[in-house]
Amino acid sequence: MLTIENLTIGYAGVVILDGLNITIPQGKITALIGPNGCGKSTLLKTISGSLKPTKGKVSLAGQDLSKLSHKTKAQLLSILPQSPITPEGISVRQLVSCGRNPYLSHWGGLSQQDRDEVQAALIETGLCDLADRAVDSLSGGQRQRVWIAMVLAQDTDYILLDEPTTYLDLTYQVELMEMMQKMNRRGKTLVVVLHDLNQACRYCDHLIVMKKGAIIAQDEPHKVFNSQLLKEVFSLNATIMMDPIANKPMCIPL
Ligand SMILES: Nc1ncnc2c1ncn2[C@@H]1O[C@H](COP(=O)(O)OP(=O)(O)OP(=O)(O)O)[C@@H](O)[C@H]1O
Ligand SMILES: [Mg+2]
């Protein structure tokens, strides 16, 4: 189980997250939702270890993540940042192969198993035809799929995705959410930042709702997703109905 205890972090002395306590349920898909600037990316980066908290800790199965080496951590947990920076001139296959870096020996290149994992990730994300293209020559949505493929190739038990549906057309958004469910059925625990609240309710088992650096609610969608919450967190007047396909709550702005 991934737990966050008394987590406090800020930038240049300004506190953004103050004393957060969160439990990420193992083997589930958790959606992190909240308005722009409320601290979702900051939280995800702190969980992944790329930001150091001023107070508190993140533990996995009782083990403090900050005590692990980069390599060990990268075998346990992967992150797709909100705005990843593409190395200049790198090809699709090369970038996806970077997902295997935590498994390479000190002097070795990719093993056959590494190459198979990369190929499987390219197939799963529909990128085989683009494998030799330079990533910076791709469209926004194609590039986003390359980053998702890299995370797939990393093959970690915990996967953090910061707005993975950005740039994707609706068909690819649905495909991505279904891919997340497939990974989940293979035993992966996912934490995903989403702005589409209806997708969050439909595809995720657990919601963490944030506002101004605080946790307002954390529970299953049908227990927390209601009109009062949307008003309080997003200042949105909306009515809640049951999605007739998935039988999950969905909101319709008034
Ligand atoms: N590197 C930084 N230096 C200073 N302030 C920062 C930095 N990164 C984020 N912030 C501030 O921290 C707050 C939380 O930002 P964060 O990126 O975590 O929000 P978010 O919930 O992910 O928003 P969005 O939905 O727009 O992606 C914001 O007020 C933001 O301006
Ligand atoms: Mg963000």
Q: Which residues surround ligand 2, an ion (CB under 5 A)?
A: 40-41, 82
Please tell me the distance from the alpha carbon of residue 211 to that of residue 3, in angstroms, as a whole number.
19
**CA torsion, ordered 89, 93, 95, 96, to nearest 10 deg:** 170
**pLDDT tens per residue, range 13-46:** 899 999 999 999 999 999 999 999 999 999 999 9
Token reading at 214? 């605080």
pLDDT reading at 232 higher than 80: yes
> Inter-axis angle of helices 140-154 and 170-185, to 10 degrees?
0
Ligand nearest to the Cα of 39, by number? 1
pLDDT reading at 108 higher than 80: no
Nearest CA to ligand 1 atom 24: 36
DSSP 4: E
**pLDDT tens per residue, range 127-159:** 999 999 999 999 988 999 999 999 999 999 999
Confirm or reject: Cβ of 36 under 6 Å from ligand 1: yes
pLDDT reading at 106 higher than 90: no
Ligand nearest to the Cα of 195, by number? 1
Please tell me the distance from the alpha carbon of residue 77 to that of residue 56, in angstroms, as a whole number.
19
- Name the fold adopted by 2-90+157-253: Rossmann fold (3.40.50)
Q: Structural domain boundaries of the chain? A: 2-90+157-253
**pLDDT tens per residue, range 119-135:** 999 999 999 999 999 99
Please tell me the distance from the alpha carbon of residue 217 to that of residue 209, in angstroms, as a whole number.
5
Confirm or reject: Cβ of 32 under 6 Å from ligand 1: no
Are 153 and 121 in contact by the 8 Å Cβ rule? The answer is yes
Are 221 and 249 in contact by the 8 Å Cβ rule? The answer is yes
220 pLDDT band, cuts 50/70/90, is very high
